[in-house]
Structure 1
Amino acid sequence: MSPRGVATPDVRERLFAAAERVVQRDGPGALTSRAVTTEAGCAKGLLHTHFAGLDEFVAELCLDRFARTAAKARALSGLTGQGTVAGNVDAVALALFESGGPAVSGLAMTRPAAALRVREALEGGAPGFTAIQEAVTDYLEAERRLGRVPGALDAGTAALTVVGTAHHLLMTSWPGAPDPRPAMTRLVAQLVAGP
């Protein structure tokens, strides 16, 4: 545990990772500020020093994970013509499921104030599913121009299908449920393979 008065390095990420472990292991009902700080091995009041409360913390956790996945999706443009198209798109889709994605998404939905804060941030331009969809669309269009996906592929519809399916799987998964990633991988492979 960090001694009182000593700065905790990378405190946001440390708390976020601890929250993900708590939710994955014990479910959303177990998430309290004390559970997070205990799991993180830091002072009990540290979460409230950096966040206005648990709802703000949960919202910021969700927005941080969306931003990470959106950055990964934007990086697809640099992979055009490299690797496999299915593998590249699948890596972005699966990033949504990393670090307890289903549990964290479900957690935000159980906390109305956190869900409202996430929605307002997304409406204000924070990266989320729309940014991911746009990046996947651009990538698939570039790959279509190279002939690496069928010419008849509607890139926008394929990207919407990937993001919509990921959203569905995130919202209908819970700790202990079957792993949603294999279904996501099969969907991506089918979409980019064409008829």
Structure 2
Amino acid sequence: MSPRGVAIPDLRERLFAAAERVVARDGALALTSRAITTEADCAKGVLHTHFAGLDEFVAELVLDRFARSARQAEALDAKVGRGTVTANLQEVVLALLEALPPAVVGLAMTRPAAALHTRQGFQAGAPAFDAIQQAFTAYLGAEQRGGRLPAGTDTASIALALVGTTHHLLMTRVPGDGEGLGATTGRLLAVLLGSAGTAAG
């Protein structure tokens, strides 16, 4: 256990990752401040030193994971013209689903104080699904301008459909079912993009 008074590098991420492990292993009801700090191998009171309480902690965890997911979506810029459009989008969607455990997101929706803090974060400009949708739209537009998607492709509607499905899968998926998610997102992208999405750069 970390000694009292010694700074812990990347403490927020350490606590966030510990909370995700607790929820994945023991369920949402097992998530307590003590369970988190025990899992993170930190002093018992360290969570309350950095967060007002468990509700704020849960909200900040969700906001952090949404921000990380938005950065992953924005990284699609580097993939323009490389691989296939379908594979590039599928990789990001699956990463988004892994970055946002449904049980953790559910916690933020079912705990009123956590839900309020999360909403306030989004209202203050924290990235959410709208930022991810914009990143998808920008990527598809770039691929269209590069000739890898037909000129008449409705990139905004494809991005909206993809984000809407991702949101649905996020709230309903079975943890650990990566193979099933891969098949589902593959079928969706085949419908949305057709054969154009499988053309390699």
TM-score, with length taken from structure 1: 0.91
Q: 1:29 is matched with which residue?
A: 29
- Cα offset, 1:193, TM superposition: 2.2
- Cα offset, 1:11, TM superposition: 0.4
Q: 1:166 is matched with which residue?
A: 166
C-alpha change, 1:192 and 1:123, in structure 2 (3 Å) is: same
Number of aligned positions between the proteins: 194
Question: Would you say the 8 A contact 1:20–1:100 is kept in 2?
Answer: no
Q: 2:151 is matched with which residue?
A: 151
Partner SS for 1:44: coil
1:55-96 Cα offsets, whole Å, 9 max, x none, are 111111111111111111112122211121112111221122
Runs of at least 4 residues of structure 1 off by over 3 A? 173-176
Q: 1:19 is matched with which residue?
A: 19
C-alpha change, 1:185 and 1:59, in structure 2 (3 Å) is: farther
- Paired AA for residue 9 in structure 1: P
1:84-109 Cα offsets, whole Å, 9 max, x none, are 11121112211222245222212211
- Cα offset, 1:194, TM superposition: 5.6
Which stretch shifts more, 182-191 or 154-163? Answer: 182-191
Question: Would you say the 8 A contact 1:150–1:193 is kept in 2?
Answer: no
- Paired AA for residue 153 in structure 2: L
Which stretch shifts more, 58-67 or 167-176? Answer: 167-176
Q: 1:186 is matched with which residue?
A: 187
- Paired AA for residue 193 in structure 1: G
C-alpha distance in 2, partners of 1:88/1:78? 10
TM-score, with length taken from structure 2: 0.89
In the alignment, structure 2 segments of 5+ residues that lack a partner are: 197-201
C-alpha distance in 1, partners of 2:43/2:187? 44
Q: 1:49 is matched with which residue?
A: 49
1:172-195 Cα offsets, whole Å, 9 max, x none, are 23557x556222233234322269
Q: 1:5 is matched with which residue?
A: 5
In the alignment, structure 1 segments of 5+ residues that lack a partner are: none
1:101-159 Cα offsets, whole Å, 9 max, x none, are 22221221121211121112112211110000001001101111222123332111111
Question: Would you say the 8 A contact 1:17–1:99 is kept in 2?
Answer: no
